[in-house]
Amino acid sequence: MAKVLIVEDDATIRTGVLKALAGRGHVVVAAATALDGLKLAVAEAPDVVLLDLGLPDLDGREALRMLRAVSQVPVIVVTARRTEGEMVRALDAGADDYVVKPYGAEQIDARIRAVLRRTAPPEPVSLVVEADGVRIDPRARTATLDGAALELTPREYDLLHYLVARAGEVVTKRELLTEVWQVAYTAADKTVDVHLSWLRRKLGETAQEPRRIHTVRRVGVRFGRV
């Protein structure tokens, strides 16, 4: 689900919300003061912040302003009073939504999901890529070879997608590790080789008799018939 930062000085409320949200599958971090909250907002990079406007160390709007200076994270402000002026000022100061105490776990969970939906970047336009009989449909996460479905693991799928999208180009193993696995490259790492060999088997070829995945010695691989 989401990583939620709760900034709330009331220990009972803080613990209650923390447990309720964790029980709904969120990862929750909590702070009791505005300054600790600001630190956690930077250190933990939460997906959303629940910010109590009545904190002991800083005025709520000041806390919100400082948070906005260091992060674009969506913020739901929590107020104790249903005063329209306070909410409007909070929204003007950069809050994305507000709730009024007392609030239930269900309500706050719904608000969190709504804020995340609103602030999510638009889905990238997913384009089907195709080369040498292999067709990848990113929207359905399916791959076919000459029209027949390929049974791929998620990693094999990502690897094949990456290669087919760059058909004809030499792709280095370093690039595959950092882009497909998102880990740092070490020369001894055989992850890429192992997955390439599995992928080759599923495409009906071997490193010795390649058809689509060609080894470019000391550099990497290239997808596509020569």
Contacting residues toward Ca ion, per CB under 5 A = 9, 52, 54
For Ca ion, which is the closer residue by CB, 34 or 180?
A: 34
**59 Rama class: left (phi>0) / alpha (psi -120 to 50) / beta:** beta
CB 63 to Ca ion: min, Å: 11
For Ca ion, which is the closer residue by CB, 34 or 203?
A: 34
| Closest residue to Ca ion, based on beta-carbon distance | 54
What are the tokens at 163? 């290669």
CB 190 to Ca ion: min, Å: 54
CB 26 to Ca ion: min, Å: 21
For Ca ion, which is the closer residue by CB, 54 or 224?
A: 54
CB 202 to Ca ion: min, Å: 57
What are the tokens at 44? 């933990």
What are the tokens at 122? 């638009």
Q: What is the dihedral of CA 154, 160, 162, 167, to 10 degrees?
A: -170
CB 124 to Ca ion: min, Å: 40
What is the rounded end-to-end Cα distance, in angstroms, of the chain?
A: 45
**147 Rama class: left (phi>0) / alpha (psi -120 to 50) / beta:** left
For Ca ion, which is the closer residue by CB, 54 or 138?
A: 54
> Measured between alpha carbons, how far is 64 from 12 in angstroms, rounded to an integer?
22
For Ca ion, which is the closer residue by CB, 56 or 154?
A: 56
